[in-house]
Amino acid sequence: MTNGSILIGSGEATSDKSFVAFDPSKNEALESHYAEADATHVDKACALAKSASEVFSETSPEDRAQFLETCAKEIEAIGDILIETAMQETGLPRPRLEGERGRTCGQLRLFAQEVRQGYWLEATIDPAMPDRQPLPRPDLRRRNVAIGPVAVFGASNFPLAFSVAGGDTASAFAAGCPVVVKGHPAHPGTGELVARAIQKAVKQCALAEGVFSYLPGTSNDLGAALVSDPRIAAVGFTGSRAGGLALSRIAQQRHEPIPVYAEMSAVNPVVILPGALKGNAAGLAKGFATSLTMGAGQFCTNPGVVIAIAGAELDEFVDTAVGALGEIPAPVMLTSGINKAYCDGVQRLEAKDGIALAGRGTPAEGNACQSALFRTDAESFLKDDDLAAEVFGSSSVVVSCADESEMARVLEAMEGQLTVTIHMVEDDHDLAGKLVPILQEKAGRVLANGWPTGVEVCHAMVHGGPYPATTDSRTTSVGTLAMKRFLRPVCYQDLPDALLPDALKSDNPLSIPRRVDGTWG
């Protein structure tokens, strides 16, 4: 079902260079070889994408929805080999990958529904006023159109939901944009299986072949060539801060700069208010330990910082959390590189002044992740930005504050985040009311009495946030709003009805909701 090819449009391509994947559980190379795509492949894929762009963008909502649903169907049709391949390449357990496959296909189907509903077109009509004084008003109609071919960079930590057919690809397709995926080298077999499923869906739906291409590869040059290509109109990326910023710089230096939607890093502070901590320190600690160690902490929304007021309850929270961490098995991390970076990060924190190790979790071998919990005080935390830096994996820092105002100062000093969580009971509402305005300035999602891991794919979701959590706080990479990243508005003035796009024709042939003279109907 895979042969290690590069997939360009409906065809396959090979390359002089190849690479292999690793099994992180066994810490050994896998047998299959995968072709390493280069600038020549980028050129061909982008030329095809551009040639498909106009026709694909004007496919009807129904046709596009069916394409998204066909992608989901074809991914499901891959069968268990997809799960087995992903398990081998990522070390993630079967239930997690089965769940992720469900989410990936559910996400494609949600976008299909969203495309059909038609709100995303923002069809807006200001009818002509020929008799208006002193000047008549022309007929003005606006809709959203696809921005053009999108480059998608698969993430390592969600080999399905944020990779080849993940949220970026699904939302770009939904918007009517061809996609060129730069496959993540950590799961090339998984990537190729999914890419072939999309290739089939393109063919089944009789779409132009340039709608999708897949370029596996290990080099930064490949990514740079893709973002530099003048036919690429936008970039979706999930990964490290260094990677996201590098792509942003390349995009800015193009003759025509383009938007890069990079979802980069966050420590997702969890604030525990006094009332919540009192009486439930142990319960919260157990919930926290579960959230911290889920997926070996390899989530963008992993709770890397806990903020609370010092005292016996906080001590109990820390002690219980350390105890719980010791009872949770140490899961294998995605790659040896990620594991090494995690170990280095924990070591760096251990060597720092003003911070102390509270405890480590279950000892780990090979590429497994031994969780780590640190304690510091607000003063030390505020003095040293490194203590608030993300350590990708199950590492977290508990910050003890002297009082409420110090807690607020710590929050105000935080950089942009994907999420901020606040634990509270009724008695905490006054304090929470003061903190929520700070929290919403720092993050794309504010949660109460839960844990940040687990991101619902729905209409109200914002998986985004102020820099440096992402490069564009005005957007989300999860949920139906993610489509907006790949759309731009166009206004048509006095265009004859026959030449207007269906979304704006007078008799509304798509039967979509439209805003006419200021009112949505």
Does residue 62 bind its own copies (CB under 8 A)?
Answer: no
Which DSSP helix (H) or strand (E) runs through 452?
A: none
Give the residues across from 235 on adjacent strands: 151, 260
For residue 333, give Cα distances in angstroms to 65, 105, 249: 36, 25, 30
* Structure tokens, 383: 């003095």
Cα(322)–Cα(360) distance, integer angstroms? 7
How far is CA 494 from its chain centroid?
A: 40
Task: Give the integer Cα–Cα distance in Å for 111 and 98.
Answer: 20
- Determine phi and psi for 297, rounding to 5 degrees: 70, 10
**Pairing relationship of beta strands 234-238 and 260-263 according to DSSP bridges:** parallel
Q: Which is nearer to its own copies, 352 or 515 (CB)?
A: 515
Nearer to its own copies, 18 or 473 (CB): 473
> Which helix (H) or strand (E) element contains residue 286?
helix 281-293
Q: Please give the single-letter amino acid code of residue 515.
A: R
Q: Minimum Å distance from CB 278 to its own copies?
A: 18
- Which residue in the list 74, 192, 263, 313 is annotated as catalytic? 263
Q: Which of 354, 441, 506, 509 forms a contact with its own copies (CB under 8 A)?
A: 441
Give the nearer residue to its own copies in terms of CB position, either 369 or 443. Answer: 443
- Shortest CB 132 distance to its own copies, Å: 10
Q: Which of 206, 351, 496, 507 is the binder for its own copies (CB under 8 A)? A: 496
**Whole-angstrom Cα distance, residue 240 to residue 314?**
32
Strand partners, 35: 18
CB of residue 467 vs its own copies: minimum separation in angstroms?
Answer: 5
Q: If binding is defined by CB under 8 A, does position 58 make contact with its own copies?
A: yes
Residues numbered 76 to 135 that lie near its own copies (CB under 8 A) are: 99, 113, 117, 119, 124-126, 134-135
| Shortest distance, position 479 Cβ to its own copies, whole Å | 8
Among 476, 503, 510, 512, binds its own copies (CB under 8 A): 476
Fill in the per-residue mask, 288 to 327: x = in contact with its own copies (CB under 8 A), - = not in contact. ----------------------------------------
Q: Note whether 412 binds its own copies by CB under 8 A.
A: no
H/E stretch holding 142 reads: strand 140-146
> Per the residue annotation, which of 300, 343, 369, 401 is the catalytic one?
300
414 lies in the binding site for its own copies (CB under 8 A): no
- Number of Cβ within 10 Å of residue 424's Cβ equals 20
Site string for its own copies, 239-278 (x = CB under 8 A): ---------x---x---xx-x-------------------
Distance CA 76, CA 201 (A): 12
Structure tokens at 270: 């969890």
Q: DSSP secondary-structure letter at 485?
A: G
In the complex, minimum distance from the CB of residue 54 to its own copies, in angstroms, rounded to a whole number: 5
- Number of residues located near its own copies, criterion CB under 8 A: 76
Choices 64-72, 277-285, 393-401, 426-434 (CB under 8 A): range interacting with its own copies: 426-434
Reported as type and span, the H/E element at residue 234 is: strand 234-238
Binding residue for its own copies (CB under 8 A) from 385, 467, 506, 509?
Answer: 467
Q: Are 197 and 78 in contact (CB under 8 A)?
A: yes
Residue 98 falls in the annotated catalytic set: no
The catalytic residue positions are 263, 300
